[in-house]
Amino acid sequence: MITVKTSNELLKMRKAGLITGGALRAAGSAIHEGMSTYDLDRVIHDYIVAHGAKPSFLHYNGFPASACISVNDTVIHGIPSKTEKLKKGDIVSVDVGAYIDGYHGDSAKTFAVGEISPEAQALMDSTEQSLMAAIEIAKPGIRIGDISHVVQEYNESRGYSVVRQFVGHGVGRDLHEDPEVPNFGKEGHGPRIVVGMVIAIEPMINEGTARVNILPDGWTVKTADGKLSAHFEHTIAITSGGAQILTLPD
């Protein structure tokens, strides 16, 4: 069931989104060569807690950390680790959720560690720009498939592939609500978007094959060919005037 939020609920969701976006920005400022993904997770955890919220991902279906930290060929759901150190030239996707006053925010961003290859930068740019292009068209009256189509077209026309096994989603009292928001689809298909809907749009874009494997830890999702993947996500609210990005930092 797709829930529609009241303006009072949207204020609370902006509060959750602000903390989520702030935690991501703090992560971006902290990232440096030699840092462990465990230490990066601590930065995010401490930011969220210091702002009176709870990390949405911690213990979610048993996930052991506050953020998903996914390096290079890890697409999503990377588990932070004391032994995994960031290296110059890595790209690192950080996915964060914050829960406060009964509502969640959900946002992700891929960061560069030092200087990265032009190929890695181009993949990151395409992924981020496809998210912004989708947000641009999100307004009452269109359908979820219109958003999906924009993301797919943007990335595939640049030679990238779209992960199909994982999708965006509604956000609210639950971290994952209806509807599903795939990064592939047809214009004019899927649920109609109305005022008060809150969705997370989250392109997961691969340099090579769209196929992914889940590691035996049950979480870590890697590209099947070992090539790079990027991930950007915002939680947005649909207003009469278009989309409001709830997870922008101040």
Span from 146-154, 155-163, 196-204, 207-215 in contact with Mg ion (CB under 5 A): 196-204
Residue 95 interacts with Mg ion (CB under 5 A): yes or no:
yes
From first CA to last CA, the distance across the chain in angstroms is 32
Closest CA to 155 of 218, 197, 206: 206
Nearer to Mg ion, 23 or 108 (CB): 108
* CA–CA distance, 205 with 221 (Å, rounded to integer): 13
Identity of the residue numbered 79: I
Span from 18-26, 44-52, 83-91, 229-237 in contact with Mg ion (CB under 5 A): 229-237
Q: CB of 108: closest distance to Mg ion in angstroms?
A: 5
CA atoms within 13 A on the CB side of 219: 18
| H-run or E-run covering 30 | helix 7-30
Q: CB of 124: closest distance to Mg ion in angstroms?
A: 16
Q: How many CB atoms lie within 10 A of CB 123?
A: 25
Residue 98 interacts with Mg ion (CB under 5 A): yes or no:
no
| H-run or E-run covering 225 | none
Nearer to Mg ion, 176 or 240 (CB): 176
Residue 177 interacts with Mg ion (CB under 5 A): yes or no:
no
Contacts of 208 (CB under 8 A, 6+ apart): 161, 223, 225, 227
Nearer to Mg ion, 31 or 96 (CB): 96
Q: What is the DSSP letter of 158?
A: T
Nearer to Mg ion, 100 or 117 (CB): 100
Nearer to Mg ion, 24 or 226 (CB): 24
Residue 146 interacts with Mg ion (CB under 5 A): yes or no:
no
Q: CB of 198: closest distance to Mg ion in angstroms?
A: 12
Q: CB of 199: closest distance to Mg ion in angstroms?
A: 9
* CA–CA distance, 200 with 184 (Å, rounded to integer): 14
Span from 36-44, 94-102, 146-154, 155-163 in contact with Mg ion (CB under 5 A): 94-102
Q: What is the sign of the dihedral through the CA atoms of 17, 22, 23 and 25?
A: positive
Q: CB of 110: closest distance to Mg ion in angstroms?
A: 12
Nearer to Mg ion, 95 or 146 (CB): 95
* CA–CA distance, 74 with 233 (Å, rounded to integer): 16
Residue 23 interacts with Mg ion (CB under 5 A): yes or no:
no
* CA–CA distance, 75 with 163 (Å, rounded to integer): 9
Residue 90 interacts with Mg ion (CB under 5 A): yes or no:
no
Q: Which of 200, 228, 230, 248 binds Mg ion (CB under 5 A)?
A: 200
Residue 207 interacts with Mg ion (CB under 5 A): yes or no:
no
Residue 108 interacts with Mg ion (CB under 5 A): yes or no:
yes
Instruction: Tell me the two tokens of residue 200.
Output: 């997370």
Q: Binding residues for Mg ion, per CB under 5 A? A: 95, 106, 108, 200, 202, 233
